[in-house]
A and B are shown apart, each in its own frame.
Chain A
Amino acid sequence: MILRSLSNLFLALSAILLALPIVVVCGAALNSGRTMFFPPKEPTLSRFYEFFIAEPIWVTALGNSILIAFGSAALAVLLAWPVAYGLWAKGGRASQVLAGLGSMPFALPPIVFGVGLGFLWTFLGALGAVWAGIISHATLFLALPIVTISIGLQSIDRSHLDAAATMGATSSVIFRTVILPQTMPYTISGFFFALVLSFNEFIVMFFVSASAYSTVTLQIFNSLRNGYTPTMAVAAITFIVVSLMVFSAVARWGDLPRLMGAEPAKP
């Protein structure tokens, strides 16, 4: 009994500590002045108006963030599919190497990959182009859809495939009617993981954008020198809300514990 309440206490404490800086940033967004205080002085919502509508710097940055996040997540999923499919359908050493290569940028310190991409785009003359930023993020987060799609493919019941084949379905029909529908939730989860992380990524985007354009995280970092403003905190809130919504959606329509590596739920 004591142990039970002790463990609940520990869980609660962890939650509080985890939420603490987030709460502080959110609270600071309500300040009416130009400086951040916590607790906020004269709470107001006008900073939200500035961030989303009034100040062109932030509006453009937000637009870039959204464009890059959606573009790179879609591209990452498109690239990850053949890699994960090859790994599942054929297995073997070569497919493993390919999947390993695809996951490498995510596993190594991002600052190194960022510097490397900076050189790459300089040579190709694309440094500072938004599309180069999209491809960079797609590569950085390729590992995520590879992992989720692989989990999805592994969860397909092989007997369904055999049954379809026995009934005379061609491989493309099997792919369309069995494989694709069953892996769709995992594909979408992979897409959203990549989307949210791209939205929040800073260091690779810093090297790749070369100050030609800015995303919200870049803009915030640039503004750090002038001290914090409540408008920056609004940006933070937006990001947290987006993440919460996306992951809640994944949890609602997909099996989040399974995606994170738990045993499949018992029916």
Chain B
Amino acid sequence: MSVISDLDAVAQPPNTTRSEARKWANPQVLIWAVVLFLCLTPFILIFAVSFGHKVEGAGWVWGFSFANYQRVFVGAEWPDQVTWLYLQRLYYSLYYAVIAAVLAVVTAFPFTYLMTGLSRRAQSAWLVFLLSSLSLSEVFIVMGWDVLLSNRSGLPMVFKETGLTDWLKAVGWFDVLREWGLANPRNVKFKTSVLATVLTMSYLVWPYAVILLYPPLSRLDRSMVEAAHTMGAGPWTVMRTVVLPAMRLPLVGTILLLFVFLLGVYVAVTVFAEPAKQTMSVSVYGAVRGNTLNAPFGAAQAIVLLVTAAIFLVLGQWMNRRTAS
């Protein structure tokens, strides 16, 4: 705020009648430079580093080879041998992110619809609660779910104490759970499992889903809903014929944004996914700061992750425009 007025004063010496455009020039250049430097250089650097290579015991050096990308897509031994290890990690990144994003939006949509029907005061209270939960660190959320799902306390204990485990065994569903990897011989277990990973990730973005669906739903013309009611349409018919068609774009857009956000989730995956099913962000972390220490290779993987995210965002934009026109 004071920056504006200060810069204005600097750019406009007294007794000059410069045009509006010139008056703007200096502070604009400055702000462009700062934003470009801070927001763009990190991404450019990753791109540049990803062509370098590791030096044993001395970090890494600049270079220009596609070896890192080759390693991501077909493995280091190519063409003698092909490994899909890193593509598999990317696959799990996409897999978890898609399920968690869809799950979050599917459950957040009816919630937001109901919430926007409340009084403005009640909406404020809900928003405070949602924003607090949204801003809560991934670390804390994972900690909470970890306590809830761990085998020594939490849900498995509840299952055992209430006799639910015995009941499951008696009905025979216990074996099904074991096949799904959700039980050990004695009791149900949720760590480590795909279920726990996806649920936690979904929980992580659930408040985001509500916040993103809130503007379009609160601007939805409720009189249309009422009109449909008066004409004798049941609540489900109204939902299907009035609300959902109007909300198609926001729904798809929200799923896409959450999906892109979830591609980068790190803590939840390291804690809840089994080692064989970990994601690309985990191996980026491992390569840049963890035990494998190969910054250029980590950078290459980060670029692959970034391009994947960008493709989906652009796809969303394109769909947006196509539907709009």
A78 touches B306 (CB 8 A): no
Given contacts A187-B1, A243-B135, A251-B128, 16 further A-B contacts (CB under 8 A): A24-B147, A38-B154, A81-B4, A82-B27, A109-B263, A112-B46, A115-B284, A116-B46, A172-B8, A202-B137, A220-B139, A221-B267, A236-B143, A239-B140, A257-B127, A257-B218
B111 touches A11 (CB 8 A): yes
| 5 tightest A-B CB contacts, nearest first | A21-B144, A109-B264, A116-B42, A261-B215, A200-B137
A187 to B2, CA, bound (A): 12
A232 to B147, CA, bound (A): 13
Chain B interface residue count: which class? 35 or more
A37 to B115, CA, bound (A): 34
- The one of A83, A98, A142, A261 that contacts B214, using a Cβ cutoff of 8 Å: A261
A98 touches B31 (CB 8 A): yes
Nearest B residue to A109 by beta-carbon distance? B264
The winner among B5, B128, B137 for most chain A CB atoms within 10 A is: B137
Q: A118: CB under 8 A from chain B?
A: yes
The winner among A109, A206, A235, A261 for most chain B CB atoms within 10 A is: A109
A243 touches B131 (CB 8 A): yes
Chain B residues, CB < 8 A from A118: 288-289
B45 touches A116 (CB 8 A): yes
- The one of A115, A135, A142 that contacts B298, using a Cβ cutoff of 8 Å: A115
A228 touches B45 (CB 8 A): no
B124 touches A251 (CB 8 A): yes
A262 to B128, CA, bound (A): 15
B239 to chain A, nearest CB (A): 11
Nearest B residue to A113 by beta-carbon distance? B42
Which of B79-87, B160-168, B171-179, B203-211 is the interface stretch?
B203-211
A195 to B310, CA, bound (A): 27
A215-258 vs B, CB cutoff 8 Å, 1 = contact: the mask equals: 00100110010001000110110011001100110110000110
A107-123 vs B, CB cutoff 8 Å, 1 = contact: the mask equals: 11111110111111001
A257 to B235, CA, bound (A): 26
A187 to B3, CA, bound (A): 14
- The SS class assigned to the A binding surface is helix
- The one of B8, B107, B132, B214 that contacts A240, using a Cβ cutoff of 8 Å: B132
B306 touches A109 (CB 8 A): yes
B92-113 vs A, CB cutoff 8 Å, 1 = contact: the mask equals: 0000000000000001001100
- The one of A36, A102, A201 that contacts B147, using a Cβ cutoff of 8 Å: A36
Q: A155: CB under 8 A from chain B?
A: no
Q: A265: CB under 8 A from chain B?
A: yes
Q: A203: CB under 8 A from chain B?
A: yes
The winner among B27, B136, B260 for most chain A CB atoms within 10 A is: B136
The winner among A14, A77, A102, A201 for most chain B CB atoms within 10 A is: A14
A79 touches B131 (CB 8 A): no
Give the number of chain A interface residues (Cβ < 8 Å): 89
Q: A15: CB under 8 A from chain B?
A: yes
- The one of B34, B281, B310 that contacts A79, using a Cβ cutoff of 8 Å: B34
A259 to chain B, nearest CB (A): 9
* Residue contacts A-B, CB under 8 angstroms, 7 given: A38-B154, A98-B35, A108-B306, A119-B49, A200-B136, A200-B140, A224-B143
B38-65 vs A, CB cutoff 8 Å, 1 = contact: the mask equals: 1111110110010000000000000000
B39 to chain A, nearest CB (A): 5
A139 touches B38 (CB 8 A): yes
A203 touches B264 (CB 8 A): yes
Q: A196: CB under 8 A from chain B?
A: yes
Chain B residues, CB < 8 A from A239: 136-137, 140
B219 touches A262 (CB 8 A): yes
Q: B120: CB under 8 A from chain A?
A: yes
Question: Are A261 and B114 CB-contacts (below 8 A) given A109-B309, A256-B128?
Answer: no
A135 to B49, CA, bound (A): 22
Q: A42: CB under 8 A from chain B?
A: no
A79 touches B31 (CB 8 A): yes
A68-83 vs B, CB cutoff 8 Å, 1 = contact: the mask equals: 0000000001110111
The winner among A79, A221, A265 for most chain B CB atoms within 10 A is: A221
A90 to B110, CA, bound (A): 39
A134-161 vs B, CB cutoff 8 Å, 1 = contact: the mask equals: 0100110010000000000000000000
Q: A85: CB under 8 A from chain B?
A: yes
A44 to B272, CA, bound (A): 30
A244 to chain B, nearest CB (A): 5
- The one of B34, B120, B139, B264 that contacts A217, using a Cβ cutoff of 8 Å: B139
